[in-house]
Amino acid sequence: MRLRGDVSDDEEEDAVMDPALLSSSSPNGAAVAAAVASPRLVVGYALTKKKVKSFLQPKLLLLARKKGIIFISIDETRPLSEQGPFDIILHKVTSKEWQQVLEDYHEVHPQVTILDPPNAIEHLNNRQSMLEEVADLSLSSFYEEVCTPRQVVIMKDPSSIPTAVAMAGLTLPLVAKPLVVDGTSKSHELSLAYDEASLSMLDPPLVLQEFVNHGGILFKVYIIGEAIQVVRRFSVPDVNTYDLLNNVGIYRLPRVSCAAASADHADLDPSIAELPPRPLLEKLSRELRGRLGLRLFNIDMIRELGGNDRYYIIDINYFPGQTIYPR
């Protein structure tokens, strides 16, 4: 199945079909069910309103119905066992109560595919554990190498940060990221620290990663099962010696990886714009699917400027904002 499309969680003004029209429990549910001749696949979904709006686009819904796929909204106030039956449950609800509901349901209905298992998703909610699997890969393919930036985790006491950074041997500037990824905008707020004196101004718990010059381009690698799609995004500009000598303090970074920052049609230096090799992405996707236990996620990847095809994975997200539609 080939995949295409580009819709961000941030594009909330896009027109979408009312998801209630897809539910057999709604007044229009019978009409929709009748319109789908012998549905081959029933997908129950438990998503936030924002995710419903960005994901269930008219194009996707129409194509799904043509292929005998129907989406049904899960009512979280009712027992899950009383709803359905489902072939797949697609979800992005983070509460502990919901995780328990899913685990209990899957014990009774092991034939239903859960996208994705809550315990596997939880692995990505912490930026320390998120990249551990990548760090253990030691993945290389001929000339390419995949690794993670050197980093240190700070749990508390901002005054201890300069010492922790020195002991870890990290080189300034450093990218500061919240340790916990909880779906809020705050968990995606990144900062760049230029000098040692400013490090104690940061707010733990957080992860500090060495900044890697990468030509100002980020590759977002979207993975759905064995399918892969890559898009380019404008990123943080490179940092040179002049910047290091003339900048001090903490700088809040814009959210560069959203769809509005697309660089797919920009006039770029070919050496910077060139996508990562397909064989490398396929090998990386296969390894991470197995290690993470996920089938619906994306990787944020950069290529070190002048680094002889050395790639760094800097973030992994479950069920990302961009939606990729089959055709």
Question: Could you give the CA distance from residue 115 to residue 103 in angstroms, rounded to a whole number?
Answer: 12
Residue 19 has pLDDT above 70, yes or no: no
Q: What percent of the chain has pLDDT over 90?
A: 58
pTM of the model as a whole:
0.81
Query: Can you give the pLDDT at residue 134?
Result: 81
- Quickly state the pLDDT bin for 278 (edges 50, 70, 90): very high
Residue 11 has pLDDT above 70, yes or no: no
Question: Mean of the per-residue pLDDT values for the chain?
Answer: 82
DSSP string, 194-226: -SGGGGGGS-SSEEEEE----TTEEEEEEEETT
Residue 295 has pLDDT above 80, yes or no: yes
Provide mean pLDDT across the span 304-321: 87
Distances in Å between the alpha carbon of 128 and those of 95, 274, 312? 21, 29, 15
| 139-141/325-326 β-pairing | unpaired
28-32, 140-144, 224-228, 243-247, range with the lowest pLDDT: 28-32
Residue 72 has pLDDT above 70, yes or no: yes
Question: Could you give the CA distance from residue 56 to residue 52 in angstroms, rounded to a whole number?
Answer: 5
- Quickly state the pLDDT bin for 276 (edges 50, 70, 90): very high
- Quickly state the pLDDT bin for 309 (edges 50, 70, 90): confident
Query: Can you give the pLDDT at residue 184?
Result: 76
Residue 141 has pLDDT above 80, yes or no: no
Question: Do residues 171 and 231 touch, judged by C-beta distance below 8 A?
Answer: no
Tokens of 110: 């092991």
Query: Can you give the pLDDT at residue 1?
Result: 30
22-31, 157-166, 262-271, range with the lowest pLDDT: 22-31
Alpha helices in the chain (DSSP H): 29-35, 49-55, 58-66, 96-108, 118-122, 127-130, 132-135, 161-168, 241-246, 270-273, 278-292
Question: Could you give the CA distance from residue 16 to residue 31 in angstroms, rounded to a whole number?
Answer: 19
Provide mean pLDDT across the span 253-282: 77
| 139-141/41-46 β-pairing | unpaired
Amino acid letter, residue 3:
L
Work out whether the CA dihedral 302, 308, 309, 315 comes out positive or negative.
Answer: negative
Query: Can you give the pLDDT at residue 143?
Result: 56
Query: Can you give the pLDDT at residue 33?
Result: 45
Name the residue with higher pLDDT: 140 or 239.
239
- Quickly state the pLDDT bin for 28 (edges 50, 70, 90): very low
Provide mean pLDDT across the span 143-165: 91
Cβ neighbors of 320 (< 8 A, separation 6 or more) are 220, 222, 297, 298
Residue 43 has pLDDT above 90, yes or no: yes
Query: Can you give the pLDDT at residue 29?
Result: 43
Residue 22 has pLDDT above 60, yes or no: no
Residue 136 has pLDDT above 60, yes or no: yes
Nearest CA to 208 out of 311, 135, 127 is that of: 127
- Quickly state the pLDDT bin for 80 (edges 50, 70, 90): very high
**Which 3 state secondary structure label does DSSP give 136?**
coil
Amino acid letter, residue 108:
V
Provide mean pLDDT across the span 252-279: 76
Work out whether the CA dihedral 194, 246, 313, 189 comes out positive or negative.
Answer: positive
Question: Could you give the CA distance from residue 248 to residue 194 in angstroms, rounded to a whole number?
Answer: 5
Question: Tens digits of per-residue pLDDT, 93-104?
Answer: 888 899 999 999
Provide mean pLDDT across the span 290-294: 93
